[in-house]
Structure 1
């Protein structure tokens, strides 16, 4: 920091004009410092560089005569310069920012579509890696195994029972499942036997019908129904057997008509009509008409004799 200097030498003995602002007088060597300078606390901008004044031709000063060592009056001796008070350090100007290339550009704000895309991606990751559903409770497993047993899937039900036993499920639930399996096993075994008997019945009934023995087929069907009961399959087979029986009676009626046996014809028609098969209604009606005609001829044949 440069010190404040005067334009005239402050040495009263010298007092010469200084061509430039210097810290020391070139003539007497006295330090050119203002006494007790008052410094302002405000930051003063740095002074402009001193103007270069054109050099004024000055005569070469003669060398100062060597002062004779004499005791001078106290008032003739200039007072020693008082050192200036320490100046308060001026505030340094703010440091300049680094070059534009070294400072990163400001980060742009995150857009809404970026947040939406992030939410979608996180949701997809969660759905892909979400934890598996919680295992079914013991009661649900028992219900599922019971349903399998009711459907005659005994192997599946027994496998579920083994799993529950290994998991040390409550004894009440295990006992309940065991009872369901036992009950279903008896029912399923009966159903299996009935299915086998049904297959055998179908073969025997069809064989009897093909042999022209509808009565034998009806007897075999009645035996099966007595043991296993009726169901849609047995009712359908019964209708087929009854059609065969009625057809056999109508065949007998045709034979009676061919012989002209009115009584035999009428009995065969009555036996055929008991089965009430609409499939044979037209044939039955034709034989009824033939029976009426036969009866008329019989009456006409017996009239002259009376």
Structure 2
């Protein structure tokens, strides 16, 4: 096994509820990618935006139950605000950030720039005068946006190859003072020595923004591998309302944590059993490239109602 002990992979859930089979599959894949390349494997709790009481402990227990281990203590974003502030100051001092007073409705109603993707920020506040900014400050607090000098950026993904995505003046600091996801994840990955990012392919479109921001901050761009999601039988993203999709719900149908792990491994074409066995057979080139359609086993009626309410 090649050794890359200076690098690391990671899994970074938001503590908003129990992990489901899709989350656990991505976590297992991130572990396999990291361990197969001799990297450390780290856990980071991305709790800047939302956290439900007890969710972090439940998530860590579920990850351990399916056989994952991790190196060093778990990191929480809410403990890292000074790092984000320093990055914002660096960008502001370089003239790469500006105040934005737009509401979501104003952004949605504004005409888009030619060829800009849907939802891209149209630059409304980019060139406000000092007087206009002062007037708007009296009306509502400002968010802080990146002043991007490109409209697109290309990353190389291990599974998707070169991918070029849109870059707009995305938010760095929300108007409630909370650092935005795109900033926090870039700063965190660099600070933790994470040079391999394995996550769901719904986040592939975010990678160009994040890689561009890393370049502006003088930070290394990680190696990316965006893996297929788990979908329900209606080909929509798996969610708790789909029934027995969490470890606790699957246990009610007779699947213990090991059984859930084995379902996930078989969906990846890997041998069931301890993760070390799957690691021996792991080859990224052989991974499925299509989503896994997961049809959960039936829950007993009373438990089913309790689980989805």
Work out which structure has the larger RCO, using CA pairs closer than 8 Å and 6 or more positions apart in sequence: 2
- Report the TM range for the smaller structure's normalisation: under 0.3
Whose helix proportion is higher, 1 or 2?
Answer: 1
TM-score, length basis structure 1: 0.17
